[in-house]
Chain A
């Protein structure tokens, strides 16, 4: 089942360079989003306002990279008329770049919420409860970027499973927060904010899965969106 895409060189070395450049920019963008998430977790853990500021600053770079990569892909489509695997690479890249940009937005959203909680000890305590979820999402993001870099499908499927665990953990976090709301009705709005933050972390996981599905499309030429994990394994075997 594990299919890798073996990228031979084009006759046009310039085309190779253009594709290499696009891929390396996507990985750079991914690295920045990873850094954003890391800083967000630092802010969650320590209530660190510098970390919060770093997340926002990095988001500007992420947004710029999204536009730059989209522009490069547009140029490649216009000038090179890519086909087959090259075409799928460009399509998968433009979609993945959008997902990365959204991840950056979600990380910034969480960081922004933490910023408003820096002088609220109860809220800070609630946010700390998201650390485990955040760490798992960070692990998933790292693995996803690795999947894109290596362009193979086995780890993409593994990541999709990982996201299921994250969804379950998110469910438990929500239940816990709801219990707290019941037991501490004076601080419901604080708990609600934390729920939104948890939701943002869970959304980052979903965006990772979108990227993994894009990689499967790139390698296999199959559109596996809206496919259950067990059906997916069967389709790819």
Chain B
């Protein structure tokens, strides 16, 4: 990965473009709002991403706070999922993808040669749009990661870990009598909650969610959103979503991406009632898409 020389950008120094988004020049690139903070869980500085020669992410500077839920919104192709994948190096699996800049987890450079990327992905877990349980039993889906990471000493501890993970995801009562059955026999909403249980079983610090509810019905969606709210007490969560109502419901801060640029980051309430940047206003009011 190419490392850019990063400047020491103090909190808040990037921001405050023009007043009242209607006058902000949409062609200028200044992330407005509050993208930075003190003592973040994850710190992103001057990150660019290329797919071969095509640049997908332009100079993103962004902090993700501890135990916060931050949502990322923007039109299709704006780079939000690409950016999300940077946070646990899932872009490494794409040959033509090149990431430059600085990404820190608790002050540690996650792109350093010293980093074990498998261990990183346990610390920064991911839940995908389409529920993807392993073709294994419900029990094994949760136990597998914990087992390979050596998180338990014996089967009793493993049983307890599986049970606790499923309880935390609100799935235990629904599956406790059929743990040995295939996970693929669960409903979509249950499968997604199982994937979340699988992610939290390895004791992550950050959970990345890429449109976790887009394949779910409204009731399953509400259940997962409730779960996100509960989980945020113990984890930092970054969620990419196409649903602005979901972003408004679940997150404390919202980040708006547009054509690979991070346009605005602000308190969610402000983004949805009085956004600072004109592009943000245009997107969330349905004037661009």
Contacts and interface: CB of A to CB of B under 8 A. Distances in A.
Given A9-B287, A12-B286, A221-B273, A85 B281 contact: yes
B20 interface: yes
B288 interface: yes
A79 B215 CA distance: 21
Interface in A65-102: 81-88
Given A84-B281, A221-B273, A11 B288 contact: yes
A87 B273 contact: yes
Contacts of B286: 10-12, 15
Interface string B270-289: 01111100001110111111
Interface residues of B, number: 19
A11 B20 CA distance: 22
Contact of A83 (B22, B284, B288): B284
Nearest to B245: A81
Contacts of A226: none
Contacts of A8: 282, 287
A83 B287 contact: no
Contacts of B20: 3, 220-221
B41 to A, nearest CB: 28
B282 A83 contact: no
A164 B288 CA distance: 42
Contact of B287 (A3, A10, A221): A10
A10 B274 contact: no
A47 to B, nearest CB: 50
Contact of A5 (B22, B245, B271, B273): B22
B153 to A, nearest CB: 50
A176 B281 CA distance: 53
B236 to A, nearest CB: 25
B285 A82 contact: yes
Contacts of B285: 10, 82-86
Contacts of B120: none
Contacts of A88: 273-274
B232 to A, nearest CB: 22
A96 to B, nearest CB: 18
Interface in B153-201: none
Question: Which of A5, A9, A84 gathers most chain B CB within 10 Å?
Answer: A84
A82 B285 CA distance: 7
B22 A221 contact: no
A6 B22 contact: yes
Contacts of A9: 287
Interface in A1-35: 3, 5-6, 8-12, 15
Given A3-B20, A10-B286, A87 B281 contact: no
Contacts of B248: 83
B255 to A, nearest CB: 16
A84 B287 contact: no
B272 A87 contact: yes
A9 B282 CA distance: 9
Given A83-B285, A84-B281, 13 more contacts: A6-B22, A8-B287, A10-B287, A12-B286, A81-B244, A82-B285, A83-B248, A84-B271, A84-B272, A84-B274, A84-B275, A87-B273, A221-B20
Interface of B: 20, 22, 244-245, 248, 271-275, 280-282, 284-289
